[in-house]
Structure 1
Amino acid sequence: MTAIPRKSGARGSAIALWCVLAAVVIVAVVAWVNHNYVRVERTVKLPRVGEARSNPLFALKVALVKDGVVVNARRNLQLFPDRDEPAVPLGARDTVVLYNDPRTLQPREVTRLLSWVEGGGHLVMRTPSDGIFTRGRLQGAPLLEALELAPKRQNEHAGCQTYLHANSADDDDPGGPAEASRASVHEHVMFCGGQRFTLAGANPVHSWGDLRAGYVFARIARGRGSVDVLSDLALMSSDDLESRADQEFTRQLLAPNYRAGTIHLVYAVQMPSLWRTLVERSWMAWAPLLLAFAAWLWLRMQRFGPRLPAPADERRSLLEHIMASGEHAYRYGYAHLLYDAVREAFLARLRRRDPQAAALTGAPQMALLQARFPDVPAAQIRDALMAPFANDHASFRSRIATLIRLRNRL
């Protein structure tokens, strides 16, 4: 036998050609991507975890600790002991930053807090963002009443305040290296959404704003201490503290007792309700469920009106006449005639559907009828084929109904 040589040379040339074409395509795609796209770096902020997520003053706490200040951050002011936690003592030169709503303080806590301020403490607080006004005063705010402050109504806000601060060479200056080499003054907008207030009887040491539009900041001397009231403390939050202007203003607020004692950062203790959280953050879950529930109710609800069209007026009159004739015959003792008519109608249809059963009588007929109507008891069929006794209304109605039902099923 002679072996047939394989064309290995042609096959190898084809594979090499395909490899070259694939390499050319890959090189062309890489060159096109490098020509049309530029590799850039992008900073993505990761979601906060731990205390940074629950404490809005976490960035301020870290900055103060790095600056050598003793900081105590907690959710409650805790001036009085309770069953779970002991009272937190306040030093004579301490500072309390009350970030949460001052209306959460009880009258006895307000008395203790202001007594501590008169001994040399420094209190930083804000006005409530909303509330119910009665005769120009905010209800449920004993601390504001003790300081003789009256928040302005929301429609009386006078816009934002402009804060001038100096940018150093370390800041990002839009003017370029030449401008960044020297300090420049920049404007920073603050207190755009806060609740302004008026000074009913207090005489502030420092203030920012006016009596007509309301104040956004006031430092009120009280004994040997002071109280700083601001329309908003968002500048101290972790989101806004990245701005140099907010850092400078926060440092000025904490200046009276800075490094002289402990700074107590009391952040928001009130939590949003469960229903509000579900409405605002879980709508992607409950909205489809609500639509599905509405669709299910639409499918299951009762339809109004008859499913079949009403009979014509002439037919309805005939039916009413027949019903009246039957009631008249039954009332005057001719019930046996009505029964005979219904029984004869049943037997007539039975003769058309099952002539054998109609021709028989007695037990054989009962056996065939029981086989045709297995769900109807034999005794009920037997009674239906027998005339009822006179004046036995229940038996009459029962046998008439059974005969009509059996006739409709034939």
Structure 2
Amino acid sequence: MSARLRWLVVLAVLVTLGVPLAILFLRSHERVTHTEHLPPQGEASYNPLYVLGQALRADGITAHSSPRLDLQRMPLQPGDTVVLLQDSADVPPPIAQSLLQWVERGGHLLLRTPPLAGDDDTVQGPLLDALGVDTEYYDSACKPFHIADDPGHSEFCSGRRFGVDAPDGIRVEREWGDDEGLVFARLRKGAGTVDVLSDMEFLKGTPRPFDADDAKDSLADGLHDTAHRDLTRYVLEPNYAKGTMWLIYGSRPPTLWSRIFYQGWPVWVPLLLALLGWLWQRAQRFGSPLPAPASERRSLLEHVRASGEHLLRYGKAPLLYDAVRRAFLARLRRRAPTAAALTGEAQVHAIATLLQWPHSRVQTALQAPASQDVAGLRDRIRLLIQMRNLL
């Protein structure tokens, strides 16, 4: 068979097998497009105002994000806006006074009331106190916010409502609320404004933790909602496109160690297991393969007990009593020399007074028992040991 004929046979076999397989594959499979929502990465994972900053920059507005309010690094100018998502109770009085002076020159400050902490002793801080905002007797309640695209929408469901008693120099320009308290108030101070809100959940890009099984719902709040975009545009209106937007999101990025632990485990876990295996392989054997040498059969305590039993068996019980009595008198001379210097009844009376024991009990303990009175010996030794421990 020539080479040309051989290649023709091979091609015919491939076509005979390939065409039915291709037809079967196309009939049994269907092309499906699946969208996979990934969790936020980088700054978006810890900055809840990240989406707001990106939206403002796309609109041609200069926006800066910061985890904490730092006026030394924030050259605030009239016409700027500060969105203070950080808890206003953490702002010290000097910083609060500086912020209000900047507002009076034409700044726009947005802040929220303290979050619900589960107790009635929530401190609202000097900033809200200076504005005349009171949150002490208010709780959380939803406020309907109807728009054309979403007539059944509600806002401020997780924030603490408040009341306003504006001091001199501050005027309430707009307010929104009901009998249960306010959820929004715009205060005019000098040339600037201060917006106080019950909460700022509508400003956040991903207000809820990411859930892979509920990825679409996790993106349904924040600025992905039309009602939230309208409300955000309304609260940013006073100085919109006039200056810089300062977004204080009040949280810190994860540390390097937390990233290594939670995100780098596919690397460090195998390395740790390999290190443990290497240590186990290189470790020397603990212990000796030879049996331990035989130790002495009797201990010191056994010798002392055997000596005492020997003296007791051969009528030498007074020697045991004298040893315990001498130990008691030795400690008595160290702790109460005056009582130890006495003799007879005077000594018995002094020891009974010192230990607050009955006179007869001390006298019994200091009298030597008969040589054959084993029960009396044990009782007197027990009393002497108790008296010695009490000194």
Do residues 246 (structure 1) and 249 (structure 2) align?
A: no
Tell me the residue number matched to 1:88.
Answer: 74
Distance 1:219 1:133, change over 3 A: farther
Kept after mapping to 1: 8 A contact 2:67/2:250 = yes
CA distance in 2, matches of 1:97, 1:67: 17
**Does the 8 A contact of 2:166 with 2:172 survive in 1?**
no
Q: Structure 1's 146 and 162: CA in aligned 2 closer, same or farther, altered over 3 A?
A: same
Determine which of 134, 139, 163 is the counterpart of 1:150: 134
**Contact 2:108/2:193 (<8 A) preserved:** yes
Structure 2 unaligned runs (5+)? Answer: 1-11, 207-221, 266-304, 317-391
RMSD of aligned residue pairs (Cα, Å): 4.1
1:49 maps to 2:41: yes
Asked whether the 8 Å contact 2:46–2:254 carries over to 1, the reply is no
Q: How far did residue 96 of structure 1 move?
A: 0.6
Whole-angstrom distance in 2 between the partners of 1:214 and 1:77: 28
Deviation at 1:73, TM superposition (A): 1.9
CA drift of 1:329 comes to 6.2
Taking structure 1 as reference, are residues 328 and 55 closer, same or farther at Cα in structure 2, changes over 3 Å only? closer
Structure ID, larger Rg: 1
Residue equivalent to 1:256: 238
Alignment correspondent of 1:126: 112
> Which secondary structure does the structure 1 equivalent of 2:243 belong to?
coil
Question: Which digits, 9 at most, give the CA deviation of each residue in 1:351-393, with x for residues without a partner?
Answer: xxxxxxxxxxxxxxxxxxxxxxxxxxxxxxxxxxxxxxxxxxx
2:185 maps to 1:234 = no
Counterpart Cα distance in 2 of 1:90 and 1:21: 76
Aligned to 1:107: 93
Conserved? CA contact 2:122–2:136, under 8 Å: no
Q: Hey, what's the Cα distance between the residues in 2 that align with 1:126 and 1:94?
A: 18
Question: How far apart are residue 150 of structure 1 and its match?
Answer: 1.8
1:333 has 2:314 as partner: yes
Match for residue 64 of structure 1 among 56, 63, 69: 56
1:188 to 150, 153, 163: 153
Of 139, 156, 166 in structure 1, the residue corresponding to residue 148 of structure 2 is 166
Classify the secondary structure of the residue corresponding to 2:69: coil
Question: 1:313 is matched with which residue?
Answer: none
Q: In structure 2, what residue type is equivalent to 1:331?
A: L
Instruction: Tell me how far 1:152 sits from its aligned partner.
Output: 5.2
TM-superposed deviation, 1:133: 6.1
Q: Is residue 2:184 matched to residue 1:220?
A: no
Alpha-carbon spacing, 1:20–1:147, altered in 2? closer, same or farther (3 Å): same
SS in 2 for 1:209: strand
Query: How far is 1:263 from its partner?
Result: 1.2
Structure 1 position 76, deviation (Å): 2.4
- Aligned to 1:186, the other structure's residue is in SS state coil
Is residue 2:156 matched to residue 1:198? no
Q: Structure 1 residue 47: deviation in Å? A: 2.6
Q: In structure 2, how many angstroms separate the alpha carbons of the residues matched to 1:54 and 1:273?
A: 11
Change (3 A) 1:215 1:258: same
Quote the Cα distance in structure 1 between the aligned partners of 2:25 and 2:54: 49
Q: Is the 8 A contact 1:60 1:238 kept in 2?
A: yes
Counterpart contact for 2:48–2:249, Cα < 8 Å: yes
AA in 2 matched with 1:221? R
Structure 2 distance, partners of 1:117, 1:163, is 28
Letter in 1 for 2:232: T
2:53 and 2:177 mapped to 1: Cα distance?
Answer: 29
Structure 2 CA distance for partners of 1:209 and 1:106, relative to 1, 3 Å: same
Amino acid at match of 1:127: T
SS at match of 1:130: coil
Task: Measure, in 1, the Cα distance between the counterparts of 2:239 and 2:226.
Answer: 21
Equivalent in 82, 87, 98 of residue 84 of structure 2:
98
One-letter amino acid matched to 2:27 = A
Letter in 1 for 2:173: V
Aligned 8 A contact 1:217 1:229 in 2: yes
- Report if the CA contact (8 A) 1:191-1:231 is conserved: yes
| Cα distance in structure 1, aligned partners of 2:63 and 2:204 | 15
Q: Using the alignment, how far apart are the partners of 1:329 and 1:65 within structure 2?
A: 100
Name the CA distance, whole Å, in 1 between partners of 2:62 and 2:29.
Answer: 54
Distance 1:269 1:24 in 2: 61
Alpha-carbon distance between aligned partners in 2 of 1:33 and 1:50, rounded to the nearest angstrom: 38
Q: TM-score, normalised by structure 1?
A: 0.51
Q: 1:151 to 1:270 in 2, by over 3 A?
A: farther
- Structure 1 alignment gaps of length 5 or more: 1-15, 82-86, 168-184, 285-323, 336-410
Change in 2 beyond 3 A, CA 1:223/1:133: farther
23 and 141 in structure 1: CA distance in 2 versus 1, 3 angstrom threshold? same
Counterpart in the other structure of 2:290? none
Partners of 1:328 and 1:94 in 2: how far apart?
A: 97
Percent of aligned pairs sharing the same letter: 35
Partners of 1:97 and 1:266 within 8 A in 2: yes
Q: How far is the alpha carbon of 1:23 from its aligned partner?
A: 7.8
**Conserved 8 A contact 2:124-2:135:** no
**Alpha-carbon distance in structure 2 between the residues aligned to 1:93 and 1:21:** 75
* 3-state SS of 1:255 partner: coil
- Could you tell me whether the CA contact under 8 Å between 1:64 and 1:71 is conserved in 2? yes
